[in-house]
Homo-oligomer: A and B are copies of this chain.
Amino acid sequence: MIAGHVFIATSLDGFIARTDGSIDWLEPVQNPEEDYGFAAFAAGMDGVVMGRATFETVLGFGEWPYEQPVIVLSRSLRDVAVPEGLEGRLSFRAATPEAVFAGLARRGWSRVWVDGGQVVQSFLREGLIEEITVSRIPVLLGEGIPLFGSLPADIRLEHLETRAFPSGLVQSRYRCVR
């Protein structure tokens, strides 16, 4: 069985980035001594599926942060060459969430890190997300790119655990109830 896992930070008002993609508001919680469970989460994933906006934000970091294969879902990038140095570590695809997961399951993936607002929303709508870890940053932005979006029906969640950190970040982990 293949399932999507989300590990993401939002403002208290639910934004993953400002309208222009900026994540400067994460700075107050950044701390070289505390990764908020990020490395352990990433180590448990077979690979990453993200959208174009997240991909472009990550490219802007300079250093490619992923150990695992990364699939970028994008209609506009699917015929574009992979950037130099990322051959074999990154591929572009244009397909439905189900088709993407079916292909990844055939490659033996079972735990997929699903990242970015639009892609998380589309995989949630299709019932392909198993767990969501949300880290709330203590700031209200007023506007930005939301983590969550419209759904065909309510999604019940099971709360698994919550941890509050000295920086004020509050991290909750939920399982989607089918």
Residues of A within 8 A of B (CB): 12-14, 25, 28, 124, 134, 136, 138-143, 147-159, 161-162, 164, 168-170, 172, 174
* A133-B153 Cα distance, complex, nearest whole Å: 27
Decide: A172 near B174, CB < 8 A? Known: A134-B12, A140-B155, A148-B13.
Answer: no
Q: B155 contacts A14, CB within 8 Å?
A: no
Number of copies of this chain in the oligomer?
2
Bound-state CA distance A170–B171 (Å) is 10
Top 4 closest pairs, chain A to chain B, by CB: A142-B151, A159-B168, A13-B148, A138-B157
Across-interface contacts of A157 in B (CB, < 8 A) = 12, 138-140, 168
Complex Cα gap A174–B138 (Å) = 8
| Bound: A145/B61 CA distance, A | 36
A160 (CB) vs chain B CBs: closest residue: B168
Q: What chain B residues lie within 8 Å of A140 (beta carbons)? A: 124, 148, 151, 154-155, 157
Chain B proximity of A64: nearest CB distance (Å): 30
